[in-house]
């Protein structure tokens, strides 16, 4: 299993909508643009893709559409997580069947399972299909943190190759790097912490910002990996105002709004996601203009 292919900057893709379904044309155009801009990988049907509001049929279709459009040019890591283990297993098996390169599986949310329950959940998912599994640890959305000791146990499961760490806890990430095998991948789940995670031995980022900044987010990782850390820090620093604006409201509301302002998709979200408050929208527009993405 080649783990190196899952390093770099990977975009947690938004899902463009029409008033009654998936905007396939905009989705394909977005994917093509991402690849030509130099992104290292794509992640359909994550939280940023509004996966909780997709029907099962839509979820499967969006993953399949992404795989077909990408055509093996970059890795596709399909979001297949659920707080229902049987559903996560089904989605993982489907992703493997249609040719995804890996799956991203979030900690079961709302249920707040015990550590044993979390382990058994990921064990069932990882054994259900022959496809690499990247765990997704984001306590702010799930209510359950994967502590380093549990991460070590999970790293021994069949097909589990790494984690998207969005706990925001750098000390925890340092412990995970020290405890887990050297080839266990740590990917940043926070755009603001990309440099910090890379400095701790992380190998990349699954990014929200790269929906609108694919070239620059990829370049931050490229520069860091070439040993040009000061240049990576300067470029990453330039992004901070915009990154902050992209999280001024719950993701993916601001990034999808930004994408719409840039003409990448329609400004359509599904409830409970809704349009931005006017004051926050002005902050976002200012950040986009300052970065040169809007005139």
Average of per-residue pLDDT across 171-197: 98
pLDDT given at position 100: 98
Q: State pTM to two decimals.
A: 0.97
175 domain-assigned: yes
3-state secondary structure of 12: strand
pLDDT given at position 1: 73
Per the annotation, the verdict on 238 as an active-site residue is no
At 83-140, the pLDDT tens digits run: 999 999 999 999 999 999 999 999 999 999 999 999 999 999 999 999 999 999 999 9
Average of per-residue pLDDT across 48-73: 98
pLDDT given at position 109: 96
Average of per-residue pLDDT across 187-195: 98
Confidence of residue 210 (pLDDT cuts 50, 70, 90): very high
Closest residue by Cα to residue 194 from 161, 216, 212, 162: 216
Confidence of residue 151 (pLDDT cuts 50, 70, 90): very high
* Alpha-helical runs (H) found in the chain: 24-36, 56-70, 85-98, 115-126, 139-142, 148-154, 170-179, 194-199, 214-225, 229-238, 240-246, 253-261, 278-291
pLDDT given at position 288: 98
pLDDT given at position 207: 98
* Tokens 């984690």 -> residue: 163
pLDDT given at position 164: 98
pLDDT at residue 295 tops 90: no
At 215-263, the pLDDT tens digits run: 999 999 999 999 999 999 999 999 999 999 999 999 999 999 999 999 9
Average of per-residue pLDDT across 56-63: 98
At 16-59, the pLDDT tens digits run: 999 999 999 999 999 999 999 999 999 999 999 999 999 999 99
Per the annotation, the verdict on 27 as an active-site residue is no
Give residue 13's domain range. Answer: 3-226
Q: How many domains, the chain? A: 1
- Which member of 109, 136, 144, 256 is catalytic? 136
272 domain-assigned: no
270 domain-assigned: no
pLDDT given at position 2: 86
pLDDT at residue 211 tops 90: yes
- The CATH number given to whatever domain includes residue 120 is 3.20.20.70
70 domain-assigned: yes
CA distance 66 to 69: 5
Exposure string over 145-182, b if 16+ CB within 10 A, otherwise e: bbbbebbbbbbebebbbbbbbbbebeebbbbbbeebee
DSSP string, 97-148: HHT-SEEEEEPPPSS---HHHHHHHHHHHHTTSSS-EEEEE-HHHHS----H
CA distance 274 to 269: 6
């Amino acid at each position: 299993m080649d783990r190196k292919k899952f390093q770099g900057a990977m975009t947690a893709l938004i899902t463009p909508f029409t008033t009654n379904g998936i905007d396939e044309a905009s989705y394909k155009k977005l994917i093509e643009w991402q690849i030509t801009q130099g992104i290292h990988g794509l992640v359909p049907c994550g939280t940023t893709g509004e996966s909780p509001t997709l029907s099962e049929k839509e979820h499967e279709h969006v993953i399949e559409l992404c795989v077909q459009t990408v055509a093996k040019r970059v890795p596709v890591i399909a979001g297949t997580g659920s707080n229902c283990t049987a559903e996560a297993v089904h989605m993982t098996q489907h992703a493997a069947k249609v040719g995804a390169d890996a799956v991203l599986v979030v900690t079961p949310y709302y249920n707040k399972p015990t550590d044993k329950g979390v382990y058994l959940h990921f064990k069932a998912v990882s054994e259900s299909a022959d496809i690499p599994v990247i765990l997704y640890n984001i306590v702010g959305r799930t209510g359950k943190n994967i502590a380093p000791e549990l991460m070590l146990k999970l790293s021994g499961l069949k097909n589990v190759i790494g984690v998207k760490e969005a706990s925001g806890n750098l000390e925890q990430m340092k412990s995970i790097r020290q405890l887990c095998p050297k080839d266990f991948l740590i990917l940043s789940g926070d755009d603001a912490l990309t440099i910090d995670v890379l400095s701790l031995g992380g190998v990349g980022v699954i990014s929200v910002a790269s929906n609108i900044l694919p070239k620059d987010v990829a370049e931050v990782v490229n520069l860091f990996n070439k040993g040009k850390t000061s240049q990576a820090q300067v470029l990453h620093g330039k992004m901070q105002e915009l990154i902050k604006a992209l999280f001024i409201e719950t993701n993916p509301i601001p990034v999808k709004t930004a994408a719409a302002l840039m003409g990448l998709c329609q400004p359509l979200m599904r409830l409970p996601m809704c349009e931005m408050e006017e004051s926050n929208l002005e902050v976002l527009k200012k950040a986009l203009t300052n970065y040169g993405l809007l005139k």
